Structure 1
Amino acid sequence: MSSADKNLSVFNTAGLPDISSKKFAILVAEWNSEVTEKLFAGAYDTLIQYGAMPQNIERGNVPGSFELTTGSQWYAERKDIDAVIALGVVIQGETKHNDYINHAVAQGLTNVSIKTSKPVIFGVLTPNNMEQALERAGGMHGNKGDEAAMTAIKMLGLRGEIFKSQG
């Protein structure tokens, strides 16, 4: 089933870890704020719903999606941050700017995650137009912010399972 036919915010919640003591950074691109604010609300609400404490969720803003990589690096370098959720949207335009930005951000966030050994979640929408973006930011296809938060929770659970014998 393609994402065009599916609500992206439906996921398996069995066996989720206790995240009440985990600290999250949610980084939000200001460009296309009509969309990114909805992504933030989805991510924040999902973290709270599954046990995160409000005081353990820190928000940071960057000008656009391209800057998510550097901002995520700075948050991930902090010892008190357990996971970073990077939220943005790059809408296809008349030029190929979106291809370059999306590729750079995806690769950059992957590199930050590998370098810091922390979950750094790609919550960047890559739609063809604003309508598609809004459909994925709380519309008929759910909210990518919800999905990004759930991914962070599940990755922390996996990390805990892998390293549980190490204390």
Structure 2
Amino acid sequence: MALSSESSTLLSLEQVAQMKEAKVAIVYTEWNDAIIREQLAGCHRILKQAHAICVGEYCVPGAFEIPFACRQVYETKAGREECPEAIIAFGAVIRGGTPHFEYVCKAVTEGITLLNTSLNIPVIFGVLTLDTEQQAWERLGGIHGHKGEEAAIAALKMIHFNRSL
């Protein structure tokens, strides 16, 4: 498995350090709330460091509902001062003993992909798809970096990309 630390620029904020007040919204799930809280904490650390603005946090029941919520956030805020320039989607889907895991992961992945090709702003995929809860903690400050921080960096870099066009 590739590690985020294997890319010298992936985690750098240098490219986005001079951006003024980037606006980010966050959609997150109720499921696996301890994991989600840590994703949010990491995200907020980066947003604060970059002087970005979180224009709203929106909670949905589960990962399946994330694409709908992201579209609703964008459509209800479009043209307004609080319209986000990127949306970050956070969730944690942990494999169980039924095929439900595959259906949920496929649906949320396809939903976010569709949003990225239909909205005028990026939707960052911060949904952890895991075999075990331990894998989550390895990705939230453990050996695989911090996926909440990485999602915030990706959002800022995509905002920078859009602003540069």
Query: Normalised by the size of structure 1, how large is the TM-score?
Result: 0.85
8 A Cα contact 2:124 2:155, kept in partner: yes
Q: Percent identity among equivalent residues?
A: 35
Cα distance in 2, alignment partners of residues 99 and 131 from structure 1: 19
1:8 to 1:39, Cα distance in 2 relative to 1, 3 A: farther
Assess if the C-alpha contact under 8 Å between 1:17 and 1:157 holds in 2: no
- Residue 72 of structure 2 is matched in structure 1 by 74
**SS in structure 2 at match of 1:15:** helix
User: Do residues 101 (structure 1) and 104 (structure 2) align?
Assistant: yes
**Letter of the structure 2 residue corresponding to residue 41 of structure 1:** A
**Does 2:120 correspond to 1:114?**
no
- Partners of 2:4 and 2:11 within 8 A in 1: no
- The residue number in structure 2 matching 1:153 is 156
Q: Which amino acid aligns with 1:57?
A: V
Equivalent position of 1:39 in the other structure: 39
1:98-135 CA deviation, whole Å, 9 max, x = no partner?
Answer: 11111111110121222212110110001110100121
Q: Which residue of 2 aligns with 1:29?
A: 29
What is the identity, as a one-letter code, of the residue corresponding to 1:74?
A: Q
Is 1:135 the counterpart of 2:133 in the alignment? no
CA drift of 1:14 comes to 2.9
Contact 1:8 1:144 in 2 (8 A): no
Q: Deviations over 1:30-80 (max 9, x none)?
A: 100010110011111111111214xx4311101111111111111122222
1:8 CA displacement: 8.6
Counterpart of 2:129 in structure 1 is 126
CA distance in 2, matches of 1:19, 1:115: 25
Q: Which runs of 5+ in 2 are unaligned?
A: none
Q: Which amino acid aligns with 1:45?
A: R
- Structure 1 gap ranges (5+): 163-167
The residue that corresponds to 1:165 in the other structure is none
Deviation, structure 1 residue 138 = 2.6
The 2-side partners of 1:140 and 1:68 are apart by 27
**Cα distance, 1:96 vs. partner?**
1.8
In the TM superposition, residue 160 of structure 1 has moved relative to its aligned partner by: 1.3
Deviates more, 1:17-26 or 1:117-126: 17-26
* Alignment partner of 1:59 is 2:57: yes
- 1:52 maps to a residue whose letter is A
